[in-house]
Structure 1
Amino acid sequence: MGKVCVDIFPHDPRATFPIRFYLYRVYPHPGRHLGQGRSELRVGMQVGDELEEQVYLTNQSIFPALWVEFLDGSNLPGYTLSSVRGVGGGGSLSWRARTICSRRGVFTLGPWEVRTGDPFGLFLVRHQMLEPQEILVYPPLAVLPETLIPHRGKLGDHRPLRLPLQADTADGMSVREYVYGDSLRRIHWPTTARKETPYVKVFEPESVSRIWLLPDLDPEVQLGDGEDSTEETIILLAASLAARLLRDRFHVGVFLGGEEPVVALPDRGLSTLWKLLELLAPCHPVTGNNLSRQLAQFRPLLSPRDMVLVISAAMNEEWVQSLQRLIPFYDRGGAWVLLLDPHSFGGTHQADDFRTLLANLGVETRIIRRGDIRSMPGVYGELSRWEFITLGTGRAIARQTPRRLAALFTG
């Protein structure tokens, strides 16, 4: 519920001091005895889900509250509780507010305020709920065609990626500078002491099991609006690839460049998926975060047999040169690119010629055109809410519960 502040003050300049004292200390205005609250009925939201809240108002005074104004500071697009209601003495009322979550991201429900006053406009009562509730709207997911799932070529062969090993090997251990998110257990103390800055150990896995997703959110190359924009398509692809690859038991990580790079180190399992989705949900283009710079920032995190999967709509050779500097870390096929075709999103460049440039570097490339990937509702599982029924004995049991998040890893 948060902290509640109640202010009772006359706001009419005609009120003399005796009147002010009477109104503040003596007059039994129902505003002193109002109770209010809001509770979220649905959980685990993704884009396209319906947010539903139960709002209630109670009046414990014997006098009616003729008008009660709700002022809502929620920033979820298209959603507000702001309205004017009335409630009788000793009465209560409740209603539900609903909206479709049309945009991914982190939003707040509240802060909010309830106002009421006397019929003559002499004073005002305010109940302030100052602590907003944060909600997360996950990005949508899509079922991807097999052609977009990365494979790793070797000696002219085209074969699936190998399943991850259970442990790293000590062979070929190297060190690199510590970055936020690294485990403190991997600090290499001799190098840290010599360099006077933290360094961590990097182990080479015996087979490919770690995949890095690099969504390109350079604002200079984004095209389109809403669901059909390159920005939303990139996030949709990144989220869907993470879900699919984690289901296939790979270690998946995400890197987002910028002034303060965001890193989710490769890991596996359902908990990793929610961590990656939570990271991707609020991501939007940031000025200066071009793909070439992102690749340069990312390079220290690489292990020799990691795979890099770039998702971008950029058609310039600068980032290709940066990618080329990464390729020596791999055997052939260690980098994949999902290239969004700018022409299909309303731009002037076409992706086919650019794919040839990447193919000459030995980089597998798939072209994504507008409309090729569509989000699917309910991929997170059937949306439901807590609903209870009361038995004849008076015991309440749950008839319906919210969706089970583990549904993503079934099938």
Structure 2
Amino acid sequence: MVRSSSSTQNQSDRPTPIGSERRSSRAGRRFKRNPVLYGIIAVMIVEFLTGMATGFDLSVRLYYALAILLLAGWLWAKSSSDQMTAEIQRPKGPYTVGDLISETVILRSSGGTPKAWVEVEDETDLPGVQFKQIASLGLMVAFDHLQMSGTVSRRGEYTVGPLVARTADPFSLFPQEIQFGGHETVLVYPKIVDIPDFASPSIHLLGDNSRRQQARVLSTDIASVREYEPGDSLGRIHWLSTARTGELMVKQFDQGSSSNMWVLFDQHSDSFASIADDSTDEVGATVAASVIDKYNQGSLPVGYAAHGSQSLVAVPERSAHQREQIMRHIAVSKPVGNVMILESLAELERDLGQNTSLVVITASSDGPWVEALSGLARRGVRVSTVLIDRGSYGGKPNRDALDHLTDAGVSTYPLARADSIASALLSRLGGDEKGLWQASVRAHSGFSEISQVASADSVADDTEQFQGGGQ
């Protein structure tokens, strides 16, 4: 269930995706300006005036020859565009970063003039993707089958289209652009990587078997009911409310007595830094999507909160509908928010109890939010912070936040540019359980050159206590 959702964009102004529907329609034809054409017209005017003034026969003949050339070129170009049609086949999305996006264009000419060179381009704002090829059409009825593809490299919402065919007469005096169809929306989800189980209740509650089991079952306490949404399990339908209202109603469980997880993705503008196509926001989106995907598939109710160009606060659920809504938000929201982490934590505080895991993904500098996380951890909230090294992305270093988090005892996972996300989530700093995790050495970044070394005296004390307990 979504508690709040807002956007700085007008949703109604967005085009509706058409998917793989075949279309063949001409939106317009445009003659482009050509300096050669203007030069020929200027010569014609000069030759005409010269012939009229002097009676020089060659000037008059040259004038008529150029006039015939222009007329023939214009008729050729007009005939070429009038007899050309196109069909566009675009596969349905959404896509994920790294996917291959391809489309098929069938260009046809119903006869008339041959077209040895036709530039076909499906205009798009997809980063690093260019749908452009050269086609050739014969004298009689002919067609050309074009296959164009590219790899999507960045999440977001983009447009593809319209299709533009560029052609001209043999003298290139009247180049034209012919548009076919409109544009479609393409949604690109963030990349999802395989990550270790670093934040589930069974990781934090060592030896607590009962709570480990609670993380896999629904609470028996029903807090309320709501309308059915696609993806809800039929086993959660509340039949009495359904019969009373005449609409499918599902149970809302009280999550206070069962384990759940919250994911907080920081999209404040001050936390953003980038080098070329690599950015703190892009890697943060990958981490957020991977965490939600892993624990949602593991039957753990997962909630999500983020405030970027769009805001979303979704309470923990396991429905496919909510997962889709969260993934869509991660895909389209940009790091231009003005809500600080501390404000987001205050908003979620009432939902964070002893059976709650909180994963914070941020590239922020040190601040009061660190003490807030430490306070939540002391209350029994299982806090895990994925701290993105902003300095490795060309921004202001945030090593101070790493030091403060580890000193405060908050489980922290440093993540620098070019680090493997899976490996970084195996390298924990801070937290209550000592000696369970080994911090990785990142010499290339200098961000976390920290290792945990257990002293011989500490090991001896633990051994004596163990032996004493055994007696």
With structure 2 as the length reference, what TM-score do the two structures score? Answer: 0.59
Q: Secondary structure at the match of 1:97?
A: strand
Equivalent positions of 1:10-89 (< 5 A) are 29-40=79-90, 45-89=95-139
1:98 aligns with 149
Answer whether contact 2:131 2:149 (CA < 8 A) is retained: no
Bigger Cα displacement from structure 2, 208-217 vs 302-311: 302-311
Unaligned runs of 5+ in 2: 1-22, 45-67, 225-250, 424-471
Equivalent positions of 1:193-204 (< 5 A) are 204=254
Task: Identify if the C-alpha distance between structure 1 residues 351 and 227 changes in structure 2 by more than 3 Å, giving closer, same or farther.
Answer: farther
Tell me which amino acid in the other structure corresponds to 2:97.
Answer: V
1:396 aligns with none
1:332 aligns with 380
Which deviations, in whole Å up to 9, do the C-alpha atoms of 1:273-322 show, x marking residues without a partner?
Answer: 44332221233311524322333444577688544321123232222355
Instruction: Point out the structure with max Rg over C-alpha.
Output: 2
2:26 aligns with 4
Answer whether contact 2:96 2:189 (CA < 8 A) is retained: yes
Within the candidate set 208, 224, 231, 2:281 is matched to 231
Q: Distance in 2 between the 1:373 and 1:338 partners?
A: 13
Bigger Cα displacement from structure 2, 27-36 vs 231-240: 27-36
1:162 aligns with 214
Which deviations, in whole Å up to 9, do the C-alpha atoms of 1:131-171 show, x marking residues without a partner?
Answer: 2122222211222223354557569959647235446625x
Answer whether contact 2:268 2:339 (CA < 8 A) is retained: yes
1:110 aligns with 161
Q: Distance in 2 between the 1:2 and 1:299 partners?
A: 55
2:198 aligns with 147
Task: Identify if the C-alpha distance between structure 1 residues 66 and 354 changes in structure 2 by more than 3 Å, giving closer, same or farther.
Answer: same
Unaligned runs of 5+ in 1: 175-200, 377-411
Tell me which amino acid in the other structure corresponds to 2:420.
Answer: I
Q: Distance in 2 between the 1:296 and 1:151 partners?
A: 26
1:138 aligns with 189
Q: Distance in 2 between the 1:126 and 1:202 partners?
A: 57
Tell me which amino acid in the other structure corresponds to 2:190.
Answer: P
Answer whether contact 1:149 1:241 (CA < 8 A) is retained: no
Q: Secondary structure at the match of 2:95?
A: coil
**Count of equivalent residues:** 343
Q: Distance in 1 between the 2:76 and 2:119 partners?
A: 23
Deviation at 1:22, TM superposition (A): 11
Task: Identify if the C-alpha distance between structure 1 residues 4 and 265 changes in structure 2 by more than 3 Å, giving closer, same or farther.
Answer: farther
Answer whether contact 1:202 1:303 (CA < 8 A) is retained: no
Which deviations, in whole Å up to 9, do the C-alpha atoms of 1:339-361 show, x marking residues without a partner?
Answer: 334566663625552223442xx
2:465 aligns with none
Deviation at 1:266, TM superposition (A): 2.8
Tell me which amino acid in the other structure corresponds to 1:211.
Answer: M
Task: Identify if the C-alpha distance between structure 1 residues 42 and 52 changes in structure 2 by more than 3 Å, giving closer, same or farther.
Answer: farther
Bigger Cα displacement from structure 2, 230-239 vs 301-310: 301-310
Q: Secondary structure at the match of 2:198?
A: helix
Equivalent positions of 1:316-395 (< 5 A) are 316-323=366-373, 327=376, 331-342=379-390, 347=397, 349=399, 352-359=402-409, 363-374=410-421
2:271 aligns with 221
Q: Distance in 2 between the 1:374 and 1:10 partners?
A: 50
Task: Identify if the C-alpha distance between structure 1 residues 82 and 126 changes in structure 2 by more than 3 Å, giving closer, same or farther.
Answer: same
Answer whether contact 2:303 2:316 (CA < 8 A) is retained: yes
Answer whether contact 1:210 1:250 (CA < 8 A) is retained: yes
Within the candidate set 279, 294, 306, 2:329 is matched to 279
Bigger Cα displacement from structure 2, 116-125 vs 235-244: 116-125
Deviation at 1:54, TM superposition (A): 1.9
Answer whether contact 1:73 1:110 (CA < 8 A) is retained: yes
Larger helix percent: 2
Bigger Cα displacement from structure 2, 243-252 vs 28-37: 28-37
Q: Distance in 2 between the 1:256 and 1:91 partners?
A: 53
With structure 1 as the length reference, what TM-score do the two structures score? Answer: 0.67
Which deviations, in whole Å up to 9, do the C-alpha atoms of 1:90-125 show, x marking residues without a partner?
Answer: 111122222222222222221232233434566565
Q: Distance in 1 between the 2:77 and 2:416 partners?
A: 68
Deviation at 1:244, TM superposition (A): 0.9
Tell me which amino acid in the other structure corresponds to 2:403.
Answer: D
